[in-house]
Amino acid sequence: MSLTGHKVLITGAGQGIGRACAEVFASLGADLVLLDKNAETLDQVVEKVTKMGGEVTAITMDLTDTDKLLSEVGKVNDEGLIDILINNAGFDRPGTTEKISMEGFEAVLGIHLTVPLFLIQLLLPSMRSAGWGRIINVSSIYGIVGGKGEVAYSTAKAGIIGLTKSVARECGEDGITVNAVLPGLTRTPTIENFMAQRFKDEIIADTPLGRIAEPEEVANVIAFLASDDASYITGAALPVSGGWGM
Ligand SMILES: NC(=O)c1ccc[n+]([C@@H]2O[C@H](COP(=O)([O-])OP(=O)(O)OC[C@H]3O[C@@H](n4cnc5c(N)ncnc54)[C@H](O)[C@@H]3O)[C@@H](O)[C@H]2O)c1
């Protein structure tokens, strides 16, 4: 499998699944456009993937700054087609339906739904002109099973599946595939540092493979969906969850 000659934009590339995607795509020969709001972690990723050979563009920014997002990414796309888009960046604001604040709810929907929509709107026309494109959205098992105390996150992760399928229907005839991956529990800094062990234990107990995933196990599936090997897959919502949520 090779992605040489392709340019991939990865949001949230500074750590976790986004960092793993940057490394896997670099190893497959793709040029990288990496976005994150954390300059320190993004720099570390850039240092590593630059040594792997491909061209790397890094943009440190808050993705919810829409004007900056559209102008910065638009410029990079004008300089050379971005033909693979990975909508990965995200964060959680836990809360039950009765307690979640409107600010928290809208922030979670903003990063998981509005930012992907804007990026798709921006990049789709040039992918259509090229007659080839790949869009991979990172959803979650919570998007299909719901989460007690995770109403904003689960709603957003269900929404991105609807966005995925709608865009897939709109642009299939132009050679563009659009898919979602639904990770289960994955060993990223946020999960390691902020999720209570009892919640992790509960999920692992419900996971047939009986363990947490490594971020590379998700990134490898994303790379497959971006490759020509996955040329006949579109509109899929693919669990990468060790069987959790089946
Ligand atoms: N880790 C898991 O168990 C798991 C499970 C299912 C789905 N997911 C999803 O996978 C994706 C990646 O998860 P992760 O665990 O690697 O996350 P993470 O928190 O470890 O990393 C997310 C990255 O996104 C960046 N980011 C967040 N908001 C941003 C913003 N507004 N602007 C710019 N950058 C921003 C952060 O700085 C960070 O580097 C997310 O969409 C998450 O919901 C993760």
The predicted-structure confidence for 82-138, as pLDDT tens digits, reads as follows 999 999 999 999 999 999 999 999 999 999 999 999 999 999 999 999 999 999 999
Residue 153 annotated in active site = yes
Selected catalytic residue, list 83, 153, 223, 225: 153
Compute, in angstroms, the gap from residue 166 CA to the centroid of ligand 1: 23
- Taking CA atoms, 233 is separated from 2, 7, 75, 200, in Å, by 17, 20, 30, 31
Per-residue pLDDT, 212: 98
Atom of ligand 1 nearest to the CA of 87: 41
CATH architecture of 7-186+214-240: 3-Layer(aba) Sandwich (3.40)
pLDDT tens for 34-76 read 999 999 999 999 999 999 988 999 999 999 999 999 999 999 9
Burial pattern 41-72, b for ≥16 Cβ within 10 A else e, equals bbeebbeebeeeebebbbbbeebeeeeebeeb
CA angle 219, 92, 136 (to 5 degrees): 30
Spatial strand order of the sheet with 7-11 comes to 56-60, 31-36, 7-11, 84-87, 133-138, 176-183, 237-240
Residue 41 near ligand 1, beta carbon < 6 Å: yes
Per-residue pLDDT, 108: 98
The full set of domain ranges for the chain reads 7-186+214-240
Residue 234 near ligand 1, beta carbon < 6 Å: no
For atom 15 of ligand 1, the residue with the nearest CA is 188
Q: Considering only CA atoms, which of 86, 101, 92 is closest in space to residue 11?
A: 86
